[in-house]
Amino acid sequence: MIQTIDFVGFLTLGLLGGFGHCVGMCSPFVLFVSRRYVPPGAGRSAAFIAQSWYTTGRVMTYAVLGAAAGALGGVVELAGGLLGLQRAASIVAGAVLVVWALATLSDLVPRLGSGGSLFTRVAGALKRRVPGHPFATGLFLGLLPCGLLYSALIAAAARGGVLEGAAALALFGLGTAPALLGVSVADELLVRNRAVINRLSQVFLLAMGLWFLWTGLAG
Partner 1 sequence: MTRYTLLGLVVLGLVAAGVYLVTSRSAPADAPAAGGGAPMSTSGDEALPDVTLADGSVDAGDVRVTLSLTPQPPVAFAKMRVRVRAESGGDPVAIEGGRVSFEMTMPMGDHRYSLIPADQGWQTAEVVLPLCPSGKRRWYATVEGTVAGRPRTSRFRLDLAVPK
Which residues contact partner 1 (rule: CB under 8 A)? 1-3, 5, 9, 13, 16-21, 23-24, 74-76, 79-80, 83, 86, 90, 145-148, 150-155, 157-158, 179, 182-183, 185-186, 188-191, 215, 218
By beta-carbon proximity to partner 1, the closer residue of 103 and 177 is: 177
By beta-carbon proximity to partner 1, the closer residue of 6 and 127 is: 6
CA 74 to chain centre: 25
DSSP state string for 135-175: HHHHHHHTTS--HHHHHHHHHHHHH--HHHHHHHHHHHHHH
CB of 140 to partner 1, least distance (A): 16
CB of 195 to partner 1, least distance (A): 14
Among residues 132, 138, 139, 144, the alpha carbon closest in space to that of 37 is found at: 132
Residue 176 in contact with residue 24, Cβ under 8 Å?
no
By beta-carbon proximity to partner 1, the closer residue of 42 and 186 is: 186
CB of 108 to partner 1, least distance (A): 25
The CA distance from 101 to 155, in Å, is 36
CB of 132 to partner 1, least distance (A): 28
* Residue type (1 letter), 215: T
The CA distance from 139 to 131, in Å, is 10
By beta-carbon proximity to partner 1, the closer residue of 160 and 182 is: 182
